[in-house]
Amino acid sequence: MEMGKIRNVLFLCSGNTSRSPAAEYIAKWLKATKFRDELKDVNFDSAGLYSYYKRPQEPTAKYLQSKNIDFSDFEGKQIDLELISKQDLILGFEEQWHKKKLIRKFKNLENLDKKTYLLLEFAGEKDNLELIDPINLPVEEYNKILEKIEYGVEKALKKIIVINK
């Protein structure tokens, strides 16, 4: 994979209330606590293909709170051309719903397909790359998805550090 320096990373999910805000704030938390120097020039954001709500889903909020991750400045938003144009890396969670739909929606953007990955794909995983929408799942299953997101985000950040060296 040929990539230039990664400065702006966007986590993308369907509604920007569960997976992508969790990934964004876990990334910001890991940057602040673990990778401060290595990621000082990297920014993280999140958006949804659609956005109807401004706050994260309650299980996502509780998961972040349980780790003392501050997400008080979060406000859900929908992806648009301006936001997508400034990203160096876009990480989604489902092939059809995020990756392919995004590339179709912004088909005139050059190289979008070369900077859009599933989170676990970019993190180097080979199997079970999709992380389904946890809305309406029992809390235990919802949290398992958030744990996989946390795992994937940390691996992705380590890869970004290597790419940016």
pLDDT band of 2, cuts 50, 70, 90: low
Judge contact between 92 and 118, C-beta under 8 A.
yes
| Residue 113: inside a domain | yes
Strand bridging mode 8-13 / 89-92: parallel
What gap in Å lies between CA 84 and CA 91, rounded to an integer?
Answer: 12
Q: Does residue 1 surpass a pLDDT of 80?
A: no
What gap in Å lies between CA 49 and CA 26, rounded to an integer?
Answer: 20
pLDDT in tens, 115-147: 999 999 999 999 999 999 999 999 999 999 999
Average pLDDT, stretch 97-103? 85
Mean pLDDT of the chain: 94
Q: How many domains does the chain have?
A: 1
| Residue 2: inside a domain | no
Q: In the chain, what percentage of residues exceed pLDDT 90? A: 84
Per the structure, the complete domain to which residue 21 belongs is given by: 8-164
Residues 6 or more apart in contact with residue 124 via CB below 8 angstroms: 155, 159
| Residue 13: inside a domain | yes
| Residue 70: inside a domain | yes
Show the tokens assigned to 59.
């299980």
Judge contact between 13 and 48, C-beta under 8 A.
yes
CATH code, domain carrying 62:
3.40.50.2300
Average pLDDT, stretch 18-45? 97
Would you give the DSSP letter of residue 92? Answer: E
| Residue 3: inside a domain | no
